[in-house]
Amino acid sequence: MLKTAEHLYLQIADKLEQLISKDVLKIGDKLPSVRTMSEEQGVSMSTAFQAYYHLEAKGLIESRPKSGYYVIFSPRRMPEMPKACEAVKKPSEVTLHEMITQVSQDMSLQNITRLASAAPPEALLPAAKISKALIQALRKSPNAGIAYEPVQGNPDLRRQIARNSILWGGAISEDDIVTTNGCMDALTLCLSAVTQPGDTIALESPAYYGSLQLAESLGLKVLEVPTHPGTGVDLEYLDKAIPKFKIKACLFVTNFTNPLGACMPDCNKQELVRLLEKYNIPLIEDDIYGDMYFGKERPGVCQTFDTNGLVLLCNSFSKSLAPGYRVGWTVPGRYKEKVLNLKRHHSISSPSLPSAAIACFLENDRYEHHLRGMRKNLHTQYMRHLQAIREYFPEDCCVSRPQGGFVLWVELHPKVNTYEIYEQAIKHKVSFAPGRIFSLQERYNNCMRISFSNPWSKQIDEGLKTLGRLIRKMS
């Protein structure tokens, strides 16, 4: 009954949002009264109210006392999208230590408006239910969780991950999965399994700075591949670059890249797999943001198109459920034995209780229910952040349109240096991620990554207003 009511109010809200985005309902237009909407749609007054509250939370409409609801914002007013980067001439060594270290340290400062971290706040996570699952796991454990897990990982957890793979079109078994200490550990194991120091790998550009640092730690060179903010990696460029630069592996985020927010269409994913099969090189697919989609369906993954075991799929529950539990996993395809050997040498096994707790949480079918609420909140927060940027930042700025994930990529006038803005913003207790840390090249100096992971608040509104003021001074 409750699910039906929730479905109905979201259906009504989606229809109205589409009318607003198509300018059928324009800014200033009055919406039908709640009573009229209730009668026209054949729903209760409460359901009609919920639909309007939902649109109001997104900042699309507002309630005016004794007058009704009015449209106040349209997605048609959004800034232009950023442009894809230009191709680079050769792979690069990794040297960004000081700037990345500074930004990372500043993320933990007290009393700061956090627009830098691409991670979920506690407010979006089911802490009480996770705690309950942890107690349940402890009671079920024959040894109180103090014994080593099998190297491949907790069998119950692997079984639940395999069961949930149907949500992204997967058809894997628990035997295909290796658990890890978070997604970065999965990426490290997989990248180590398919490369040697001195090899060149391909990354998106802009690329997550953690991936750049990982490449450096393994002694790898990086070729940055031009990436479209909507559709992802330029496959035509990649096809020519693989033989030219002797690429040994690709590491791509195919769904909602960090920081650009691009989501590769399924047809492109299939083409990418075929391309890599032609050259017989592996793809390490980071799908950590895949569950954080705003649309009707979860985007697929390249792994579902792989018939030769060349795709090593990596993921974790750090962005969706429990960052501190550090529970990740990989489906490493033909490289499974190499990954298991590396894990055996590096960490022996994964922590017992966190893995068992996540398994219990998944077993009780709480995960998808939690994700539905989280996705709805993230989409609302995305809309509010986007609107504030449109209002406070210069009119010539370009902003990405991610359909999932946690972050926005903002491109400003070429003469604006966002690291200089960053140094000023920190003094005003506002953090963000300057664009320069997302590339090994001298580029993206006029760009910034802004996280919309935190629920909208007056503090965030003031933080974005402060950033807009600092940017306008430099423009």
Q: 9-18, 210-219, 285-294, 305-314: lowest mean pLDDT where? A: 9-18
SS3 260: coil
Over the stretch 309-320, which tens digit does the pLDDT of each residue have? Answer: 999 999 999 999
> In the predicted model, is pLDDT for residue 95 greater than 60?
no
> In the predicted model, is pLDDT for residue 28 greater than 80?
no
Give residues with Cβ within 8 angstroms of 195, minimum separation 6.
Answer: 201, 218, 220, 248, 249
Over the stretch 260-282, which tens digit does the pLDDT of each residue have? Answer: 999 999 999 999 999 999 999 99
Give residues with Cβ within 8 angstroms of 177, minimum separation 6.
Answer: 152, 153, 158, 161, 162, 329, 330, 331
pTM of structure: 0.86
SS3 178: strand
- The answer to whether the CB of 51 falls within 8 A of the CB of 38 is no
- The answer to whether the CB of 184 falls within 8 A of the CB of 206 is no
| Residue 57 vs residue 472, higher pLDDT | 472
Over the stretch 235-255, which tens digit does the pLDDT of each residue have? Answer: 999 999 999 999 999 999 999
- Average pLDDT rounded to a whole number, residues 31-41: 88
- Average pLDDT rounded to a whole number, residues 142-159: 91
